[in-house]
Structure 1
């Protein structure tokens, strides 16, 4: 025996750590950056969803206050509405024409071929008017007008003009977001009704010219309207309204929440992806609800 103190007995945890392989001991350091990136991405996306919900309530509340619609706000609303409807008119007509040629004519032809021509109205209402039209109108609004609004507000944010407006006592939400969101909402309804009507009309023209349909255009539209339930007369316009509402609101808030490290090259892909997801979510929620 020696006079020195005995070496301390290692605890089970220390003994286990001592037997742990090197790659296993370094695993937390390797996983931590990936988890941190995933957490930042999740917080960033959840933050925008919460901001979008709060901003939607703010637009609804402020739009009902007469004092919010001052002359400058009304001017912004008129300018944006003319750009949304006028700028998207031709794109809507062309897209609706192509949809009528592909969807309506094919549906009428194959239903007649299968001996189920009586289901033509219900199929067109379910597929074209209720499901396809809101998605395509939302994409047109997003690509034709939403990116323009995003660029405009994003440049104002990155250039410091938004902070200058706040320093002068003006509310950027009332001046920029409120009129543009309401303009997109009204424009979505207008372009949506135009899209559905033109697609059905072009489909009828093609099928009537080819001899698949022998009835008049009034009978064709009467069959389509007769296949719509009372719920469809509420849901379909509401889909167009909400798609336009959230496309415009998402574009405005994406530009308004731009960071100092952002550029237009980073804002536009982010705004487009958010807009597509918004259009799809609104359409899916109404499909599940209905």
Structure 2
């Protein structure tokens, strides 16, 4: 093979490698810039005008209300399959004293934020992708700009803020239902030696200052990241995109964001 052939292959190979890297780097930079923009705009009083507040309340109502039943069922299953089994087997091993520590480590720190993020992504994030993708494809974003309205404040800011609040709310509900279901199941099995308040007190005592920062921080950040990935995916829809291409793309981005956020925060805090 001649030198000219080698010279022609090298740029082609670099282009095939560099194109996906550039796309992913551009998406991460866009997420970072929009995230900082949301923090900045959320702190400004004049950003929360009536249309923005109305959109925030609508998204919050649909995300929290729509996700409640799914979270309740999922938490009840986790309570039966994880919490009650932890109580039972630790009781059988004579280690009742570490039940709170185990539940805090597994349920509160790791499992609850991730499952809440997945439910929020599947229940509300996909809806946001479809809504914003249709607006982008239908030219409604250009119409909003033509009327002097800021699409970022009207569409991105309220959704990310509502998803962050929803993530925190559903996370607290998830943990409470999982613990209560596990306690009731353990009581029916006759392996719980504590009262309900004693059981909850043992869990709270097992939580340190780190957990009181990590747990709500994870819930809020995961909710915000689900909102960011969903809005970016919908607003960046290209000509020819459909729900068949947008939804898998947004779902993959959301799952990766949830898992990476949970892992990084667990390592950092």
What's the TM-score once normalised by structure 2's chain length? 0.95
Size of the alignment, in residue pairs? 269
Cα shift at 1:33? 4.9
Quote the residue 1:156 is aligned against.
135
Which secondary structure does the structure 1 equivalent of 2:144 belong to? helix
Quote the residue 2:93 is aligned against.
114
> Does the 8 Å contact 1:154/1:258 carry over to 2?
yes
Quote the residue 2:251 is aligned against.
272
Quote the residue 1:177 is aligned against.
156
Cα shift at 1:262? 2.1
| 5+ residue gaps, structure 2 | none
Quote the residue 2:184 is aligned against.
205
Verify: 1:73 aligned to 2:36, yes or no.
no
Detail structure 1 runs of 4+ shifted over 6 Å in the superposition. none
Which of 256, 277, 281 matches 2:235? 256
The Cα RMSD (Å) is 1.6
Verify: 1:187 aligned to 2:151, yes or no.
no
Verify: 1:247 aligned to 2:200, yes or no.
no
What's the TM-score once normalised by structure 1's chain length? 0.89
Whole-angstrom distance in 1 between the partners of 2:9 and 2:244: 31
Q: Deviation per CA, 1:149-190: give whole Å up to 9, x if none.
A: 111001101111111211222110000000111100100000
Determine which structure has more spread, i.e. the larger CA radius of gyration.
Answer: 1
Quote the residue 2:266 is aligned against.
287
Verify: 1:82 aligned to 2:61, yes or no.
yes
Verify: 1:140 aligned to 2:119, yes or no.
yes
Q: Deviation per CA, 1:103-128: give whole Å up to 9, x if none.
A: 11111112112221111000000000
| 5+ residue gaps, structure 1 | 1-15
Which secondary structure does the structure 1 equivalent of 2:260 belong to? helix
Which secondary structure does the structure 2 equivalent of 1:284 belong to? helix
Whole-angstrom distance in 1 between the partners of 2:10 and 2:62: 49
